[in-house]
């Protein structure tokens, strides 16, 4: 029967009733599935007050698949009794039957059978009574016929324990005539048009009532920021490679850890107020490892460890100045110094991904803050080949395989390399990071062994090559096409041919 036919039949059924009717009873009377009646009820409710329907719940007992089998073939214990001939039945053979184990224990409990362990050829089972009554099957027949109310609670509980009976919750509707009840339905209009108003035809039309309780379409919201998604991907790669994340929760850093400990001279341009944010409160730091500070001062002014130093007057006042850190390498310096204080050196692999700050003039290709990714490996006998190998492994995990390395200069790494990747979208080589081996003038004052080398690299999270997957994430998050060139030219991408100063 079609849906329209079910609706019509239901209305005709209600027309002849003074009171209402249960949807289950209506389905039985009309000879249709209960869900068809439910669909008809919802359709009529959407029209208006043609009917009124109240949702009701009731619990009914029903047979399980095993319970249906018992009704058809008898209970397990009855089948065991019926299969035993006068000469007895071998116990082992009975246990092989599908109903043997359960039926044996129940029949033995009812004293219908007995077990003779002294029988020739092994234990045998014999009938203990002449006839039996299968009460279990009789109780299940009552349920099948809809007379479950005749069972007491004890019987129901026992049958449930044997998984022959289950209690199900049945939901139905109590349906009554509404204030606008009619067996003839007319389709209501849903929209009031300008033509209806001009012609005045709206006066003779019936409109579908608004459902003010209906939920509206949920607006798109709560998405993860594309950079945070890519940051999670980077972090997972580092963890897969066996790196440990460094604590980077100190945006404020002293010039000592940010510059001096890295063998960066105090007259370096990066320390100018045009490049670095200096703090006025608190203006300076006071607590430094004294012996280490003296060694840093000495290597800057007089040299040492095979270096002649910078030959200038090193001032503690400059090292004390507080700044917004310009790179996360300041955190690496702290971690390497902490490593050097251990009684016995052990190789480490550290990484960090966090925010850094530069006093840049904001324009199309520069921001005052961005995220730096940094990796540091300390071990005996590391070489430039180890650095290139680990960079290849790192970028391959990102899906970037076309790499080039170019010699570069950094104050605290020697040798140093800039890393370039070929960008398929721009059809050119783009710088993606800086790297190198930390100089002895930086490491040995910390107290690290002379034969320990530290390789490191740094890159910006925002760079377009590094967010090649992030572009796809941006498309996914905003839900429409993105102009890739617009993204590449944005401040976070820095593709002006003059990448920001990133220190390894």
Kindly state whether residues 336 and 368 are assigned to the same domain: yes
**What percent of the chain is modeled with pLDDT above 90?**
31
78 or 212: whose pLDDT is higher? 78
pLDDT classification of 10: cutoffs 50, 70, 90: confident
What is the spatial distance between Cα 5 and Cα 433, in angstroms, rounded to a whole number?
72
If you count DSSP H runs as helices and E runs as strands, how many of each does the chain have, helices first? 19, 15
DSSP one-letter string for 293-356: HHHHHHHHHT-BTTB----S---HHHHHBEEE-S-THHHHHHHHHHHHTSSS---EEEEEEEEE
pLDDT classification of 255: cutoffs 50, 70, 90: very high
What is the spatial distance between Cα 230 and Cα 482, in angstroms, rounded to a whole number?
17
- pLDDT tens digits along 378-406: 999 899 999 999 999 998 888 888 899 99
222 part of a folded domain: no
116 part of a folded domain: yes
pLDDT classification of 365: cutoffs 50, 70, 90: low
- pLDDT tens digits along 311-322: 989 999 999 999
Kindly state whether residues 40 and 79 are assigned to the same domain: no
Q: How far is CA 473 from CA 63, 75, 477, in A?
A: 52, 62, 6
What is the spatial distance between Cα 400 and Cα 466, in angstroms, rounded to a whole number?
9
Q: Which of 49-53, 146-150, 183-187, 392-396 has the weakest average pLDDT?
A: 183-187
What is the spatial distance between Cα 254 and Cα 322, in angstroms, rounded to a whole number?
4
Surface-to-core class of residue 490, CB atoms within 10 Å of its CB (0-12 exposed, 13-18 middle, 19+ buried): middle
Could you tell me if 374 and 352 are in contact, meaning their C-beta atoms sit under 8 angstroms apart? yes
173 part of a folded domain: yes
Mean pLDDT across the stretch 100-109? Answer: 89
What is the spatial distance between Cα 317 and Cα 229, in angstroms, rounded to a whole number?
41
Strand locations in 78-230 (E): 89-90, 113-116, 124-127, 165-177
Torsion of CA 268, 273, 275, 279, to 10 degrees: 110
504 part of a folded domain: no
pLDDT classification of 375: cutoffs 50, 70, 90: very high
pLDDT at 484 over 50: no
> According to the model, what pLDDT value does residue 468 have?
47
Q: Give the domain CATH number at 4.
A: 3.30.1370.240
Kindly state whether residues 97 and 212 are assigned to the same domain: no
> According to the model, what pLDDT value does residue 473 have?
43
- pLDDT tens digits along 402-452: 899 999 988 889 999 999 988 877 788 888 889 999 999 999 999 999 999
Kindly state whether residues 399 and 472 are assigned to the same domain: yes
Kindly state whether residues 125 and 171 are assigned to the same domain: no
Kindly state whether residues 321 and 185 are assigned to the same domain: no
- pLDDT tens digits along 170-196: 888 888 888 778 877 767 777 888 998
Instruction: Count CA atoms closer than 13 A to 346's CA, side-chain side.
Output: 5
User: Of the residues 117, 140, 159, which one is the last residue of a structural domain?
Assistant: 159
> According to the model, what pLDDT value does residue 432 have?
84
User: In the predicted model, what is the mean pLDDT of the chain?
Assistant: 83
pLDDT classification of 376: cutoffs 50, 70, 90: very high
Could you tell me if 434 and 411 are in contact, meaning their C-beta atoms sit under 8 angstroms apart? no
Residues in the chain: 504
Give the range with max mean pLDDT: 36-50, 265-279, 366-380. Answer: 366-380
Three-state DSSP class for 232? helix
Could you tell me if 77 and 107 are in contact, meaning their C-beta atoms sit under 8 angstroms apart? yes
Domain ranges, residue 138: 65-159
Contacts of residue 213, Cβ cutoff 8 Å, sequence gap at least 6: none
Give the chain's domain count: 3
pLDDT classification of 3: cutoffs 50, 70, 90: low
């Amino acid at each position: 029967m079609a849906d329209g036919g079910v609706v019509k039949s239901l209305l005709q059924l209600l027309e002849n009733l003074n009171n209402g009717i249960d949807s289950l009873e209506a389905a039985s009377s009309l000879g249709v599935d209960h869900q068809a009646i439910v669909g008809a009820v919802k359709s009529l409710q959407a029209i208006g007050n043609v009917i009124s329907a109240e949702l009701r719940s009731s619990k009914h007992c029903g047979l399980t698949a095993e319970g249906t089998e018992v009704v058809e073939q008898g209970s397990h214990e009855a089948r065991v009794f019926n299969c035993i001939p006068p000469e007895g039945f071998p116990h082992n053979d009975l246990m092989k039957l599908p109903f043997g184990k359960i039926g044996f224990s129940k029949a033995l409990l009812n004293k219908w059978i007995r077990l003779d362990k002294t029988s020739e050829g092994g234990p045998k089972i014999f009938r203990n009574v002449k006839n039996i009554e299968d009460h279990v099957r009789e109780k299940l027949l009552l349920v099948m016929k809809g007379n479950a109310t005749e069972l007491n609670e004890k019987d129901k509980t026992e049958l449930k324990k044997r998984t022959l009976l289950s209690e199900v919750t049945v939901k139905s509707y109590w349906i009554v005539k509404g204030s606008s009840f009619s067996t003839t339905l007319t389709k209501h209009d849903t929209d009031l048009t300008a033509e209806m108003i001009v012609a005045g035809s709206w006066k003779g039309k019936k409109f579908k009532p608004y459902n003010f309780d209906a939920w509206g379409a949920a607006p798109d919201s709560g998405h993860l920021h594309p950079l945070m998604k890519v940051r999670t991907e980077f972090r997972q790669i580092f963890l897969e490679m066996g790196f440990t994340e460094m604590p980077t929760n100190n945006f404020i850093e002293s010039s000592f850890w940010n510059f001096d400990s890295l063998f960066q001279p105090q007259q370096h341009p990066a320390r100018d107020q045009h490049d670095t944010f200096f703090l006025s409160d608190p203006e300076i730091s006071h607590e430094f490892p004294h012996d280490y500070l003296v060694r840093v001062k000495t290597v800057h002014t007089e040299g040492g460890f095979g270096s002649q130093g910078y030959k200038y007057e090193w001032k503690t006042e400059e090292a004390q100045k507080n700044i917004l850190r310009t790179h996360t390498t300041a955190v690496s310096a702290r971690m390497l110094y902490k490593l050097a204080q251990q009684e016995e050196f052990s190789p480490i692999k550290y990484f960090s991904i966090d925010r850094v700050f530069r006093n840049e003039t904001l324009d199309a290709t520069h921001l005052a803050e961005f995220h730096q990714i940094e990796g540091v490996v300390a071990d005996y006998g590391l070489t430039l080949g180890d650095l290139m190998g680990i960079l290849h492994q790192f970028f391959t995990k990102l899906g970037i395989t076309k790499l080039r390395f170019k010699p570069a200069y950094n104050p605290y790494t020697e040798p140093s390399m800039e890393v370039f990747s070929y960008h398929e979208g721009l059809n050119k080589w783009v710088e993606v990071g800086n790297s190198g081996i930390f100089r002895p003038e930086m490491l040995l004052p910390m107290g690290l062994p002379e034969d320990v080398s530290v390789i490191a690299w740094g890159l910006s999270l925002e760079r377009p090559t590094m967010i090649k997957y992030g572009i796809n994430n941006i498309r996914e998050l905003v839900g429409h096409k993105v102009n890739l060139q617009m993204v590449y030219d944005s401040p976070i991408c820095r593709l002006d041919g003059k990448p920001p100063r990133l220190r390894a």
